[in-house]
């Protein structure tokens, strides 16, 4: 969300929060920026519940994996966030989430942090028929933009996995980006991630198909699946 402000209520400047968070406040603000929805209970989903890896945080905040792990632990201990570990990263949610002028420690969010305007769903509930069709369209456009940015970040991170065997791979290559999108459409996000990880892990092994980028993975997926089923050292459940 480059170029947009992140609303943080000044309660965060209280001594107890300063002592609890320390420098981990930077990760907390990143989580606030990446929230894509907030439940009625005030739990904010970060990147729609997508598993987050240390590589993603290193790329955006410029911190080490060890610092990321330490900050995650601090925020979780003091109950600012919840985490759920998966084989593909950590799912993060924010407690008592707010994305607007209302108290970030309170009930369900009623405003959007991008410009302090209410989401179409909440506005409809609060002011009903008084919300114009034009306003609804503008809000829907903002929500769509958020989704596109999240999808773009996901594609970048999946392409990044190939850097281990192909350091020159480019995020801006349209062919590679489309290949990742096609794989996600076919396999789903989690299986695409697992399949890429497996392809990278077997690179260079005897009889393994040579796959160094998403396009090759898309074209040789059947060959990789066939190799997977013959691989005695495979980790079960990774791919089709």
Share of the chain above pLDDT 70, in %: 71
pTM score of the predicted model: 0.42
Strand partners, 85: 90
Q: How confident is the model at residue 55 (pLDDT cuts 50, 70, 90)?
A: confident
Q: Does 128 or 206 have the greater pLDDT score?
A: 206
- Residue 153 neighbours by CB under 8 Å, 6+ apart: 47, 56
Q: How far apart are CA 16 and CA 112, in angstroms?
A: 27
String of DSSP letters for 105-117: TSSS--S-TTTSP
Question: What does pLDDT average to over the chain?
Answer: 75
- Per residue in 58-116, pLDDT tens? 878 888 888 998 999 999 999 999 999 887 788 999 988 765 544 433 333 333 333 33
Whole-angstrom Cα distance, residue 8 to residue 231?
A: 50
Integer Cα distance of 123 and 57 in angstroms = 33
Q: What is the pLDDT of residues 130-189, one digit of tens each?
A: 445 544 454 444 444 443 444 788 888 899 889 888 888 887 888 999 999 899 888 888
- Give the mean pLDDT of 14-36: 88
Q: Is residue 24 within 8 Å of 64, Cβ to Cβ? A: no
pLDDT band of 42, cuts 50, 70, 90: confident
Q: Which residue has the higher pLDDT, 4 or 122?
A: 4
Tell me the pLDDT band of 211, cut-offs 50, 70 and 90. Answer: very high
d(CA 142, CA 65): 32
Average pLDDT over residues 48-60: 82
pLDDT band at 7 (very low <50, low <70, confident <90, very high): low
Ordered structural domains, the chain, with CATH = 1-116 (1.10.10.10), 118-240 (no CATH)
What is the structure's pLDDT at 117? 38
């Amino acid at each position: 969300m480059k170029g947009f402000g992140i609303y943080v209520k000044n309660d965060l400047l209280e001594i107890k929060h300063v002592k609890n968070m320390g420098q981990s406040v930077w990760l907390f603000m990143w989580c606030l920026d990446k929230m894509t929805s907030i439940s009625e209970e005030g739990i904010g989903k970060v990147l729609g519940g997508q598993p987050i890896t240390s590589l993603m945080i290193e790329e955006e905040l410029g911190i080490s994996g060890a610092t990321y792990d330490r900050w995650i632990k601090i925020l979780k201990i003091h109950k600012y966030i919840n985490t759920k570990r998966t084989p593909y990263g950590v799912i993060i949610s924010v407690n008592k989430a707010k994305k607007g002028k209302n108290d970030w420690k309170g009930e369900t969010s009623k405003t959007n942090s991008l410009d302090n305007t209410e989401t179409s769903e909440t506005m409809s509930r609060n002011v009903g028929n008084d919300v114009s069709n034009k306003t609804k369209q503008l809000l829907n456009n903002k929500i769509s933009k958020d989704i596109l940015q999240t999808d773009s970040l996901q594609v970048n991170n999946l392409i990044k996995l190939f850097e281990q065997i192909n350091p020159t791979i480019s995020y801006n290559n349209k062919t590679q980006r489309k290949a990742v999108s096609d794989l996600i459409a076919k396999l789903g996000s989690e299986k695409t991630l697992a399949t890429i990880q497996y392809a990278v892990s077997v690179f260079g092994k005897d009889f393994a198909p040579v796959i160094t980028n998403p396009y090759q993975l898309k074209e040789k997926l059947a060959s990789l699946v066939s190799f997977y089923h013959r691989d005695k050292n495979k980790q079960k459940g990774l791919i089709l």
